[in-house]
Amino acid sequence: MALAITLFLFLLISTCKATDPCASVSDGSDLAIDHIYGKCSPFSPPKPASWLDTVLGMASKDPARVTYLSSLTVMKSTVPIASGQQTIQTGNYVLRTKLGTPGQLMFMVMDTSSDNAWVPCTGCAHCSTTLFNPTNSTSYQSLGCNMAQCTQMKGQACTAEAGPCVFNQSYGGDSSFSATLVQDSLTLGVDQIPNYAFGCINAIAGGNIPPQGLLGLSRGPMSLLSQTGPLYQGTFSYCLPSFKSYYFSGSLRLGVAGQPKNIKTTPLLQSPHRPSLYYLNLTGINVGKKPVVFPPELLTFNPTTGAGTIIDSGTVITRFVQPVYAAIRDEYRTRLNGTVSSLGAFDTCFDTSVNPIPPPITLRFTGMDLALPMENTLIHSSSTPLACLAMAEAPNNVNSVLNVIANLQQQNLRILFDLPNSRLGIARELCN
């Protein structure tokens, strides 16, 4: 009987999903999170490559992303701007948002390491076709150089008090945009946020600007958390969809209500050198039960230099500084049978038919061990019995030690950012 009910419910759920798997919009303050190349994203390619190839393509952009993250210092960023269109975006997840009155639907990239929000606006040079049209919104206002918000914008070049607040920022390592600071109503699920300040993009250069804009969830003074104050009380959590399929959606839950109560946590740290980023105190890494051996200072958090470990929504596979990664990889390889091969960014791929029990990896943080589920450790080929360790070394042009906990390692986990209590929580959750 119980089985029959379970089966019935399963069929019922699958039938609902079959009608429109992308219809699940929002539930209270929960917003659907989709892979940018997932089925429910408008950026899903008409003839998709294999999902493994898509992930490989996305991971190939990580070095540019990590270089970009390391450039987010209080000093002026000096990221070189490359020209030319690239097809793979560094923003990995999109949120359905509405801007203006009446609301115009925009699929904005969610980025936990960005301060601001920005969208391409009507008249934008080199932008895609979906643009926010300010003239159609009754609540739109542009913000001048004399406004307090303008002084918070990086890359702002105001000369006259009276002029519009125009700024130029780099993004993703090889792209830039020029925008005017404006404000309008932002709708996230059931929440309407009046007078939200964001950049209205006039022109882009390079191929890495998210086509329908970006919503920054970092700590910066212009981020969603800072602009919403008491509404979300500096609290949000997300569950990123599984990398197994492009049909899956995750969720972003904004505010204190509905957040998990019993959750393991570790302190969230902040560096005045890179004030926007979410730093964690990673103290060690285990392969199987064995702690990997490397000089401990390679993980040490240093607020002054910004060295340490961050958690990021826009990097695909976790990156460790070279000696740390080499130690993990060498330890991992000693457990494997048969030959090891490389595939794109992955240098430790193996035959799963002779390695039925690959060793688990545990990330040890202050107060919290995260034993990575197997799917958060490996990426599997669907056609051959091949799996690869889904981690790599950080690019060596980064001028200070920066380890990045990336999104493949975060899938199917609820990650809670609790800024008032300076802590980050992680709990297992099937988010699809």
Ligand X SMILES: *[C@@H]1O[C@H](CO)[C@@H](O)[C@H](O)[C@H]1NC(C)=O
Residues that bind ligand X in the complex, under the rule CB under 6 A: 81, 133, 135-136, 168, 176-178, 203-205, 267, 269, 281, 283, 301, 335-337, 355-358, 366
The least distance separating ligand X from the CB of residue 432, rounded to whole angstroms, comes to 27
Q: Which is nearer to ligand X, 248 or 320 (CB)?
A: 320
Dihedral (CA of 268, 269, 272, 277) sign: negative
Catalytic residue among 111, 174, 184, 347: 111
- What SS3 state is found at 286? strand
The least distance separating ligand X from the CB of residue 309, rounded to whole angstroms, comes to 10
Q: Which is nearer to ligand X, 268 or 316 (CB)?
A: 268
Catalytic residue among 62, 184, 312, 418: 312
Count of alpha carbons within 13 Å of 137, Cβ hemisphere only?
24
Amino acid present at 231? L
**Is 27 part of the annotated catalytic residue set?**
no
The least distance separating ligand X from the CB of residue 377, rounded to whole angstroms, comes to 12
CA–CA dist 106, 125 (Å, integer) = 18
The least distance separating ligand X from the CB of residue 279, rounded to whole angstroms, comes to 8
**Is 330 part of the annotated catalytic residue set?**
no
Q: Which is nearer to ligand X, 131 or 217 (CB)?
A: 131
CA–CA dist 162, 183 (Å, integer) = 17
The least distance separating ligand X from the CB of residue 402, rounded to whole angstroms, comes to 15
Least Cα distance to 328 among 368, 282, 366, 274 occurs for: 282
DSSP 59: H
Q: Which is nearer to ligand X, 326 or 340 (CB)?
A: 340
> In this structure, are strands 423-428 and 235-239 parallel, antiparallel, or unpaired?
unpaired
* Contact between residue 34 and residue 242 where contact means Cβ atoms under 8 Å apart: no
b/e per residue 186-214 (b: at least 16 CB within 10 A):
bbbbebebeebbbbbbbbbbbbbbbbbbb
Q: Which is nearer to ligand X, 15 or 135 (CB)?
A: 135
Q: Which is nearer to ligand X, 146 or 366 (CB)?
A: 366
The least distance separating ligand X from the CB of residue 27, rounded to whole angstroms, comes to 27
Indicate the length of the chain as a whole number.
432
* Residue 85 CB burial class (10 angstroms; 0-12, 13-18, ≥19): exposed
Q: Which is nearer to ligand X, 100 or 189 (CB)?
A: 100
DSSP 132: B
Least Cα distance to 244 among 408, 371, 415, 96 occurs for: 408
Q: What is the dihedral of CA 220, 225, 227, 228, to 10 degrees?
A: -170
Amino acid present at 150? C
- What SS3 state is found at 368? strand
* Residues 196, 201, 202: CA angle, nearest 5 degrees: 140
* Contact between residue 119 and residue 98 where contact means Cβ atoms under 8 Å apart: no
CA–CA dist 368, 266 (Å, integer) = 6
The least distance separating ligand X from the CB of residue 168, rounded to whole angstroms, comes to 4
Q: Which is nearer to ligand X, 187 or 281 (CB)?
A: 281
The least distance separating ligand X from the CB of residue 98, rounded to whole angstroms, comes to 13
CA–CA dist 191, 4 (Å, integer) = 39
Least Cα distance to 268 among 388, 422, 143 occurs for: 422
Catalytic residues: 111, 312
